[in-house]
Amino acid sequence: MLLSILPQVLVDGLTLGFMYAVVALGYTMVYGILEFINFAHGEIFMVGAFVGTEVLLITDAIGGLEGMNPYVALLMTLVITMILTGALGVGIERLAYRPLRGAPRLVPLISAIGVSFLLQDIVRFAEAIARNEFYLNTPVLFTGTVSVFGIATIPIKGLVVIVLAIVLMIALTLFIGKTKWGIAMRAVAQDPSTASLMTINVDKVIMLTFLIGSSLGGATGVLFAQNYGTIDPYIGFILGMKAFTAAVLGGIGNLRGAMVGGVLLGMLESLAGAYMGPLTNQAFGAEYKDVFAFSILILVLLFKPEGLFGEAVKEKV
Amino acid sequence: MANLVWKSFKGIPLYVTLIWIAVFSLLLHFLDKSVLSFLGILSSIVLLYFTNTSNKIKLAIGALVLIVIIPLVAGENRYYMEVASQVGIYVAMALGLNIVVGFAGLLDLGYVAFFAAGAYAYAIFSTSQANEFIAGNLFPLTGDWFWPFLIVGLIVAAIFGILLGLPVLRVKGDYLAIVTLGFGEIIRIVFNNLDKPINITNGPQGITPIPAPELFGLKMGTPFYFYFIVLFVIAFIVLANIRFEHSRLGRAWIAVREDELAAQSMGISLLNTKLAAFATGASFAGVVGVIFAAKQTFIDPTSFTLMESIGILVMVILGGSGSIPGVILGAAFVTLLQVQLLKEFSNFLHSLQQSGIINLPNQLDPSKFQRLVFGIMLIFVALYRPNGLIPAKRKTNDLGAIKSSPFSSGKLGILSKLSQSSSTKQS
């Protein structure tokens, strides 16, 4: 019985893992350039989920969703959400982080925690005023399931998540690897002061990093809302923590690491959720799956702080 | 110009402070329900801090206000004493976190876990809950056990602090913040689910009824008594903070905060020093946790969320991390804001709503503004006042004074001795 659910558990884990991976990219990009944990990134994901849901709800209310191809609807939602959350990320950087560049390391982190709480309540207020409640149900775009080799089923919405996540990751990899701006970003990540001597506008590169990271986070929010149906203003915290765990697991600052770490963490969590209960005779069940993810974070930081793909950094005096 | 005025400002004259105290205590005495005058009395402590007089007089007046005047004029009003003891509880917690964040510079986002450890220690053993896993029907304990449990809570939380600290303190800076946050959540989830396989914490149902403290048969269940208990604990914690600040260990904490590598190369053991900070901060939270459990008579895991940890962090950072008067001010301000000002404001809005002037969705109730207020405070403090409202004073060694002192003959330290011995040889 335990083995028969394994393929299904893995497929679910894969969907979850790809979402972690895309959010983790946002953490890792910012960390790679500023060496700063953007605590508010999880909240940008949450805002993305709300913006996407609102776009769909409003389109539905004016009757636009009927007869529209679901893929077109999703694409439209994604584009609008990515633009808005990207702008939000840039705005946060400009107002709350940039003035603190060069301050002691904990000061921007404190500011980021503040931003994170602020965003949660702003979204809650906005929804409370607009809809008188802050739990939203997303209009379902995709129904039906696909069978995977006859041993597991994957809902089409899950498949959409995986495919879109892969597309976004490939696009990002190409952008960083091939374009002029991508090269500038890598240069700034390596050494900001030298990069600025090479006529790279460091401020612009940092803005671009926040733009891309935040729009990816927002896009994941849309996918999350599609996949789980119900959202509230507090979903960003726990998902953000897990995405951060994924980034650390893969080696923070490393894009490939974040992707692998995300998928790995999603799989592990799904496995833990399914098997911890039966294996411990229901003493420790699925309610401990968050504990499991946090424990992975702590273990990685203790024993392999550079992660799976990162380079160990020697501290310089 | 403004700077000049500020520099020549030596403090508020003593008589202003005394008049302030007198006016507001009389107001509170005669106008029974005047929140403003209650706040006025509490703020007189801040005024006192800035008063231009000697520390002994300040201490005497402060003690007079806290021990005599407040209980005298507000003691009959259950609500004021409740607010005052709640302020006290958070002041005590913030002072504990101040050791970790302010002195040792370790950003701990899971501080509430230690508070929970203390609270659960008393709650489990003072109710019949402990019978679930200890044979012999020995429990519940009576309220007399509250006093020894203050020490037990302290020890349990300190052990928690060391156990958590051992793995956690290997990482540093912003990683430490995330890891402590993770640990805080883990502990909450564990407490929430530890009703099986053995029922230790009774899970989400929580534990009740936790007995009130008793002393020689006197039941001390009202806020009036808790006010004094909390006051006593704060006095102890403040004293400990002051003593620690300038001790060998305290200076080691500050050295580690400023530069770990430099501190290490001066022979400070990083792990031991940090562990000491963690355990000390945790133990204070543990004591406060015991008081909290006894005061609430009911605890469940929802009292120990991340929001609480962040709230205490806001108090420390807003007040001025590392500054004892600052942290007290920050804690008092944030607590009053939460339990009094926002509530008053939301009552006011409700009354407007009832008379049909405005229409307020339930979610916009100001008493739910917590996250918004905390968020804005954190951002503003980080941007505009990173050292807090009352920044910590830095003890500086005046090089000129050392040089001109009779113990120094022009050169400092070992050099002065060398030059002395060489000059005696020559003569």
Cis omega (within 30 of 0) for bond into A139 = no
Predicted pLDDT at B41: 79
Reading the block at residue B348, the tokens are 């006011």
Which of A100, A125, A301 is closest, CB to CB, to B382? Answer: A100
Q: Residue B12 in 3-state DSSP?
A: strand
d(CA B333, CA B327): 10
Residue in chain A closest to B374 (alpha carbons) equals: A114
A183-227 residue pLDDT tens = 999 899 888 889 999 889 999 999 999 999 999 999 999 999 998
Beta strands A145-148 and A152-155 are antiparallel
The answer to whether B170 faces chain A, any CB pair under 8 Å, is yes
Angstroms from A101 CA to nearest CA on chain B: 11
Report B:58-97 residues touching A (Cβ under 8 A). none
Scanning A35-102, the segments in alpha helix (DSSP H) are: 41-61, 70-92
The answer to whether B204 faces chain A, any CB pair under 8 Å, is no
Buried b (16+ CB within 10 A) or exposed e, B48-64: bbebeeeeeebeebeee
CA-based nearest residue to B108, from B182, B191, B187: B182
d(CA A29, CA A41): 11
Yes or no: say if A75 and A142 are a contact pair by the CB < 8 Å rule.
no
d(CA A145, CA A156): 5
The pTM (predicted TM-score) of the whole model is: 0.85
Q: Please give the sequence-ordered ranges of beta strands (E in DSSP) within A42-192, or none if there are none.
A: 136-137, 145-148, 152-155
With 70 as the cut, is the pLDDT of residue B427 above it? Answer: no
In one-letter notation, the amino acid at residue A233 is P
CB contact under 8 Å between A302 and B170, yes or no, is: yes
ipTM of the complex model: 0.86
Q: Which residues of A touch B376 (CB under 8 A)?
A: 114, 118
Residue in chain A closest to B197 (alpha carbons) equals: A283
Yes or no: say if B261 and B115 are a contact pair by the CB < 8 Å rule.
no
Predicted pLDDT at B414: 54
Backbone angles phi, psi at B299, to 5 degrees: -135, 145
The answer to whether A188 faces chain B, any CB pair under 8 Å, is no
Angstroms from A19 CA to nearest CA on chain B: 20
Yes or no: say if B262 and B255 are a contact pair by the CB < 8 Å rule.
yes
Q: Which residues of B touch A291 (CB under 8 A)?
A: 185-186, 189-190
Angstroms from B381 CA to nearest CA on chain A: 8
Structure letter (DSSP) for residue A40: T
C-alpha dihedral over B221, B222, B225, B228, to 10 degrees? 120
CA-based nearest residue to B188, from B36, B304, B42: B304
Which of B185, B362, B381 is closest, CB to CB, to A294? Answer: B185
Q: Is B73 exposed, middle or buried (0-12, 13-18, 19+ CB in 10 A)?
A: buried
B33-44 residue pLDDT tens = 667 777 887 888
Yes or no: say if A24 and A18 are a contact pair by the CB < 8 Å rule.
no
Beta strands A152-155 and A136-137 are unpaired
CB contact under 8 Å between B182 and A298, yes or no, is: yes
The answer to whether A286 faces chain B, any CB pair under 8 Å, is no
Least confident of B290-299, B321-330, B400-409: B400-409
A104-155 residue pLDDT tens = 877 888 899 899 999 998 998 888 888 877 788 888 888 888 877 777 788 8
Which of A96, A107, A117 is closest, CB to CB, to B371? Answer: A117
CB contact under 8 Å between A117 and B378, yes or no, is: yes
Rounded to an integer, the average pLDDT of B245-252 is 90
C-alpha dihedral over A184, A23, A224, B302, to 10 degrees? -150
The answer to whether B138 faces chain A, any CB pair under 8 Å, is no
B322-375 residue pLDDT tens = 888 899 999 998 888 887 777 777 777 777 777 777 666 666 677 677 788 888
Per-residue pLDDT band at B140 (split at 50, 70, 90): confident
C-alpha dihedral over A177, A178, A183, A186, to 10 degrees? -10
Q: Which candidate in A248, A294, A302, A317 is best for mutational testing of the B interface (most B CBs within 10 A)?
A: A294
Domains of chain A: residue spans and CATH:
6-303 (1.10.3470)
Angstroms from A132 CA to nearest CA on chain B: 6
CB contact under 8 Å between B196 and A36, yes or no, is: no
Q: Which residues of A touch B309 (CB under 8 A)?
A: none
Backbone angles phi, psi at A148, to 5 degrees: -105, 105
Rounded to a whole number of angstroms, the CA Rg of chain A reads 20
A21-47 residue pLDDT tens = 999 998 888 888 888 888 899 999 999
B101-130 residue pLDDT tens = 999 989 898 899 999 999 999 998 888 877
Tally C-beta pairs within 8 A across A and B: 134
d(CA B339, CA B32): 19
Q: Which residues of B touch A315 (CB under 8 A)?
A: 261
The answer to whether A58 faces chain B, any CB pair under 8 Å, is no
